[in-house]
Amino acid sequence: MTGLEFRRRIVFGFESMLMGAAVRLVRQVQIALLVSIALYVAVGEWLARTVTHDPANALFHALSFISISLVGATVVVRRTLVLPAEAALKERSDDGVALARWRTGYIFMYALCEALGLFGLVLRMDGFTLANVWGFYLGGFLLLLLYSPGTPRSGSGELVR
């Protein structure tokens, strides 16, 4: 093995460590937010026993409209931040800027998905029934699952999940 081959192996190993750490961080954030939505459901059911007033329908309609907009925003963030960063990482896996954009895009998408679950909790605390707000909880949870991070691999062009 020549010195150049040895350096390439070292650099590739370092790049893999950086990407692995980024994927691990994003997955940890994803799992934490999935658990928090489950906690929102539990807290919402626990606090719903103390609500004694009628809910405000205007709040429900406003949060429904905002939720639809948030789902659209997750698609935009994925197309403008995550997918171009994944393409750049496939071409050049040592690109730190692309890795930061990839990680930031996922975390931002997850924050938008988390807002859906939080809207469900807000509506539940306002007095709406679980039958009215389950879509907010489920929507946030499923979007978090849908946007699971993959590891862009250079060379083969495949995205490993």
What is the extent of the structural domain holding 15? 3-160
Instruction: Tell me what percent of the residues of the chain surpass a pLDDT of 70.
Output: 81
The per-residue pLDDT for range 14-29, each reduced to its tens digit, is 455 677 888 999 999 9
How far is Cα 89 from Cα 18, in angstroms, rounded to an integer? 12
Q: What is the pLDDT of residue 150?
A: 75
What's the average model confidence in pLDDT over 126-151?
92
Helix ranges (H only) for the chain are: 3-48, 57-77, 83-91, 96-126, 130-146
Predicted model pTM: 0.81
Instruction: Report how many domains make up the chain.
Output: 1
Mean pLDDT value across residues 20-48:
93
Which range, of 45-49, 75-79, 95-99, 112-116, averages the lowest pLDDT?
A: 45-49
Give me the long-range contacts of 123-126 (CB less than 8 A, separation at least 24).
123/55, 123/59, 123/60, 123/63, 124/44, 124/45, 124/47, 124/48, 125/44, 125/47, 125/48, 125/51, 126/51, 126/55, 126/56, 126/59
Q: Are 110 and 144 in contact (CB under 8 A)?
A: yes
